[in-house]
Every structure is written in structure tokens, then in C-alpha cells.
Amino acid sequence: MKHWWPLITLASVLVAAMAALYIAGYRIGPSITLIKTRTLTVTGLSDGAAVFADYAPRGESKGNTLSIELVPGPHTILVTAQNYAAWTGLVTVPKGTDSSIAALLVPKAVSGTLLSGEAAHAARTLIDHATLPTEAQPLSMANGCALVFVSAENNTVVAAPTTTPACTPPSYLCASGTCEKTLIFTPPSRPSALFAYPGRQDALLVLIGQDLYALSLDPREPRTFTRVLHGIDPRAAVEPDGTIVVADQSSVYTLSL
């Protein structure tokens, strides 16, 4: 039995060392290499939202954020929360630094405030004069680094990188190594409205027929494409402060998301 003690001692040391490395954030990578994990903070959560990384559960939020440890590289993040549509996003965790990603939780039931009098008249006027973003007058997104517009040729939604030197275009506009115009969305018919999702630089609201949808700017699957509103004959626009106004037959209201 004595001759087993060195092996048992060595195994205990190895287990302790592996446990220490695991606690320190190291994981076994390809070719049995050690990889240092990085912290990914998921923001924009509701309290108690469940977060999954590569479809494995990673915890529930206590507040509006949750931080998880991931090895560097691409990951799929899924968030589910009561009263919200499930959200899925793609993220590439960098090797040398921590990072964050903002979940887009779209309410399953949106609320509105009915307008009347001068407020209703002003909202209708805004909607009547609203136009779709064009290539000549695009919608600025991604903190000014992406220009979004509806193509006059085929009604598709396109994003183009800006030429501003200080801008770093989103990675999905540079998939081929050079940043270029990228097809974001092909609707079944021409949209009647297209504008930024309130408070977001990475998501859009697009009105197609009777339905208003929330759409992630990143066209890679899986992506957000969630119906926000179903109306009778809705028309919509956004005020300078980001308030969404909707006119549907005789009703005019603001939409809260």
C-alpha cells in the first residue's frame, strides 16, 4: 500500500492545481492548452431573467445585469424573461479584455397612451410627413458607424459602413474582410415606416402592413425579429425624443416599449 502513496499525493496535487486554475478562470482548450476566460456582462435584463450561453444555463439576473465567464471566441447568448419575448444574440468574446452585450427584451404586451386634441393633431402631422430612410438620407445607427436605408430598387433594408475615420463599423458589415453594404432584411412588402428602436443603436422598428416588428440590426442568425404591434391600418413615426406615435383609423397614441 505504501507504494501507492506517491501516486495518490501526486493526483491530489494535480486535482488541487486544476481546481485553482479553474477558480482563476482557466479552461482546457484545443491541444490541451490553458485558456483564460473573460467576463461577459449581459445588460438590459429584467429581474430574474435567465441567461444561457451556447444554450447552457448560466444563471438568473438579480437586477438588470448578469456577468458570466466565457472562453474567448464566438458564443450564442439566449435570454428568457417573464412577460418578454426571448432574445438571442451573437457575441465574440475577446482574448485580452472583458466585454458586454445589451439584450433586447421586447415586451409581449406593449402599452399605449391615447392622444387627443392638439397632441393627436401634432402626432398625425408628424406621421403624415414621415418618410422612409433612403441612401441619400439614411438612418444613422451603431453610434454613427452604420447608415441604414430602404433600397429604392427592391425595398430591402440595407446597412452601409460610414467613411468616418473615427468609426469602427459593426463586424457584420465587414464579414469578407472589407466593410461594405450589407443586406439587413428582406420584407415581404415595402415597409411603411422604419426607425430606431427607442434607446438602441443596434435595433430597428419596421412597420409592414398591419404589423410593427422589432428587428436587430445584426443580420446573422439567430436574431431578433419580434412582432410588437398588430393593428387594423397602422401608420407610425418617431418623435425627436424617441417617442413612437401610431395612428390607426380614428385612434392616435404613443407606444411604450
Tell me: the pLDDT tens digits for 157-181?
999 999 888 888 998 999 877 899 9
In this predicted structure, what is the pLDDT of residue 62?
93
Please give the helix or strand (H or E) that residue 213 lies within, else none: strand 211-216
Q: Which residue has the cell 460610414?
A: 162
Q: In the beta sheet, which residues pair with residue 202? A: none
Residues of the chain with pLDDT under 70: 1-34
pTM of the model: 0.83
In this predicted structure, what is the pLDDT of residue 87?
96
The greatest distance separating any two alpha carbons of the chain, rounded to the nearest whole angstrom, comes to 93
Boundaries of every domain in the chain: 1-36, 38-105, 111-256
Q: Distance between CA 232 and CA 224 in Å, rounded?
A: 24
Contact 185, 215 (CB under 8 A): yes
In this predicted structure, what is the pLDDT of residue 21?
42
Nearest Cα to Cα of residue 254 among 102, 115, 71: 115
Phi and psi at 23, nearest 5°, equal -65, -35
In this predicted structure, what is the pLDDT of residue 222?
86
In this predicted structure, what is the pLDDT of residue 177?
79
Contact 78, 86 (CB under 8 A): yes
What's domain 38-105's architecture? Sandwich (2.60)
| Radius of gyration, alpha carbons of the chain | 24
Distance of CA 93 to the CA centre of its chain: 15
Contact 183, 231 (CB under 8 A): no
Which residue type sits at 84? Y
Contact 197, 180 (CB under 8 A): no
Contact 77, 89 (CB under 8 A): yes
CA torsion 85-90-95-100 (nearest 10°) is: -30
